[in-house]
Amino acid sequence: MGTGTKGKSKTPPKKKIPERKCTGCGEKRIKFDLYRIVRSPDGTVSLDTTGKKSGRGAYICKNVSCLKKARKAQRLERNLECEIPDSVYDTLEEELAEHEQ
Ligand SMILES: [Zn+2]
């Protein structure tokens, strides 16, 4: 077995992959290359590595340096429309470092 339908599979229909802008560097990337930072309805700001948390979100590249840029420019606060204390930023940075790719 093994001859016959080998190799070329049908070309899949072109799907447009949604792009999002990183809050840190401002570069556009496909959604899957970014993490979301989410402000949940109760006001908790956390890193969403699954893309499933609900709430207002901002996108960030999967690296700490982008988070630091966003922190410095206070772009996260603006995007999420809330204040983000240093302790939360520190936690986000730690978490992002863990999941860095
Ligand atoms: Zn970035």
Is the pTM here over 0.95, yes or no? no
So what's the pLDDT on residue 12?
Answer: 75
In this structure, which amino acid lies at residue 68? K
pLDDT tens string 16-39: 889 999 999 999 999 999 999 999
Instruction: Say how many Å lie between the CA of residue 60 and the centre of ligand 1.
Output: 6
Q: How many other CB atoms are there within 10 angstroms of residue 33's CB atom?
A: 16
User: How many angstroms separate the CA atoms of 63 and 34, rounded?
Assistant: 9
CA atoms within 13 A on the CB side of 28: 3
Distance 101 CA to ligand 1 centre (A): 12
Q: How far is the CA of 77 from the centre of ligand 1 (A)?
A: 16
- Identify the structural domains of the chain with CATH numbers, from first to last: 19-99 (3.30.1230.10)
85 alpha carbon to ligand 1 midpoint, in Å?
A: 21
Positions in the chain short of pLDDT 70: 1-9
Q: Within 13 Å of residue 4, how many CA atoms lie on the same side as its CB?
A: 2
The answer to whether residues 87 and 73 touch, using CB atoms and an 8 Å cutoff, is no
Side chain identity, residue 99: H
| pLDDT of 7 | 60
